[in-house]
A = this chain, B = another copy of it.
Amino acid sequence: MIQTPYLLFLGDAPDPLAAKVAQGIKDWRPDYAIGQYRMEGCRADMGLPDLSLQEAKAAGAKTLVIGVANRGGVISAAWKKVLVTALEEGFDLASGLHNLLRDEPDLKAVAEATGRSLHDVRVPSVTYPIANGEKRRGKRCLAVGTDCSVGKMYTSLCMEREMAARGMKASFRATGQTGILITGDGVPLDAVIADFMAGSVEWLTPDNDPDHWDLIEGQGSLFHVSYSGVTMALIHGGQPDALILSHEPTRTHMRGLPGYGLPSLEALRDLSLSLARIANPDCQVVGVSVNTAALDAEAARACCAEIEARMGLPTVDPFRDGAGRLVDALADL
């Protein structure tokens, strides 16, 4: 568990896109984001107060979160200077970079000397159990996609926000690096050992109040041959009561697989449901989430209307239109 609140390290981000982790934290956990730390030449700006390490410390920040991708896969000397100072000032560090903080001898030595923690969320820090398949109390909702990277995480985060606004009990459950940095906790599922995948999802979504919903971050796609095993573990470990179908309507082939076309939403519905019902016979598909970022407002409306008429399910772009209708569908279950 990463200590909050955070100071967001934007480093020398060459453009706003490089700081998308910081953007995610600012968008979805604004109360965690006390300020930003920018270096010379930084071209990203979260619109947060620019704080020095000491100012952030005084304001209560506990962890410096690396909210930016590093250039060339190297943690530069300029970054190091800030990171080492942060440890000495009493911050923990958290990172989703491919290069692990713990693999940097200087950071490791200073963290040990100062008693601070290095959180590398790309690798698991927990010994997960083998899944036992036992029914757990509480409710669970999982987003499944026609492809990878179609908006499953944003769908679940939008739903959590809407449910919180309505006073419903809901927890976003992160299963990827960005989600973990946004929320401070979760399972880096793509890095878990095969035999323990489903067990890690059970661990992530334990017994809860009967009216509590876990909103489980989806990964991959049943139709994406590189990652479908990970998706399967989410479906069987998560034993969802509700599925949301996620789709990006302009994709022409499966991400990274030029030879593979996208499945229809009908095929996704039928396959997901038959698999989910192995673990939870009561599972239902409750709605469709469309990522319309590539469409203008009118085309987006037409796209959602066409899918809604065809599938007979509430269909929205939750980021554009709000997740109200998806949450209504959950509440009606």
Chain A residues at the B interface, C-beta cutoff of 8 Å: 130-135, 189-195, 197-199, 222-223, 225-233, 236-237, 239, 254, 256-257, 259-260, 263, 271, 274-275, 278-279
**Within 8 Å CB of A236, what residues of B?**
225-226, 228-229
Among B133, B194, B278, contact of A192 (Cβ-Cβ < 8 Å): B194
Q: How far is A263 from B277 in the complex, measured between Cα atoms in Å? A: 12
Q: Are B229 and A259 neighbours in the complex by a CB distance under 8 Å? A: no
Can you list 11 pairs linking A and B with CB atoms under 8 Å apart?
Answer: A132-B256, A133-B257, A135-B259, A191-B194, A192-B194, A193-B194, A195-B227, A197-B229, A198-B228, A225-B279, A229-B233
Q: Are B195 and A132 neighbours in the complex by a CB distance under 8 Å? A: no
Q: Are A230 and B194 neighbours in the complex by a CB distance under 8 Å? A: yes
- Using A199-B226, A274-B271, A278-B225 as known contacts, say yes or no to A194 and B132 having CB atoms under 8 A apart: no
Minimum C-beta distance from A289 to chain B (A): 22
Identify the closest chain B residue to A274 (Cβ): B271
Identify the closest chain B residue to A191 (Cβ): B193
Q: Are B259 and A133 neighbours in the complex by a CB distance under 8 Å? A: yes
**Within 8 Å CB of A189, what residues of B?**
194
Q: Are B198 and A190 neighbours in the complex by a CB distance under 8 Å? A: no
Q: How far is A232 from B233 in the complex, measured between Cα atoms in Å? A: 9
Q: Are B223 and A228 neighbours in the complex by a CB distance under 8 Å? A: no
Identify the closest chain B residue to A254 (Cβ): B133
- Using A192-B194, A259-B134 as known contacts, say yes or no to A229 and B226 having CB atoms under 8 A apart: no
Among B233, B257, B260, B263, contact of A228 (Cβ-Cβ < 8 Å): B233
Minimum C-beta distance from A309 to chain B (A): 26
Q: Are B194 and A197 neighbours in the complex by a CB distance under 8 Å? A: yes
Q: Are B191 and A223 neighbours in the complex by a CB distance under 8 Å? A: no
Q: How far is A254 from B274 in the complex, measured between Cα atoms in Å? A: 17
**Within 8 Å CB of A229, what residues of B?**
194, 197-198, 229-233, 236
Identify the closest chain B residue to A235 (Cβ): B228
Q: Are A131 and B274 neighbours in the complex by a CB distance under 8 Å? A: no
Identify the closest chain B residue to A239 (Cβ): B225
Minimum C-beta distance from A228 to chain B (A): 5
**Within 8 Å CB of A257, what residues of B?**
132-133
**Within 8 Å CB of A191, what residues of B?**
193-195
**Within 8 Å CB of A133, what residues of B?**
225-226, 254, 257, 259-260
Q: Are A131 and B225 neighbours in the complex by a CB distance under 8 Å? A: yes
**Within 8 Å CB of A256, what residues of B?**
132
The 5 closest A-B pairs by CB, nearest first: A229-B233, A225-B236, A229-B229, A190-B195, A131-B226
Among B130, B131, B192, B194, contact of A233 (Cβ-Cβ < 8 Å): B194
**Within 8 Å CB of A239, what residues of B?**
225
**Within 8 Å CB of A237, what residues of B?**
225
Minimum C-beta distance from A214 to chain B (A): 17
**Within 8 Å CB of A232, what residues of B?**
222, 228-229, 231-232
Identify the closest chain B residue to A279 (Cβ): B225
| Most chain B CB inside 10 Å of its own CB: which residue of A132, A135, A225, A237 | A225
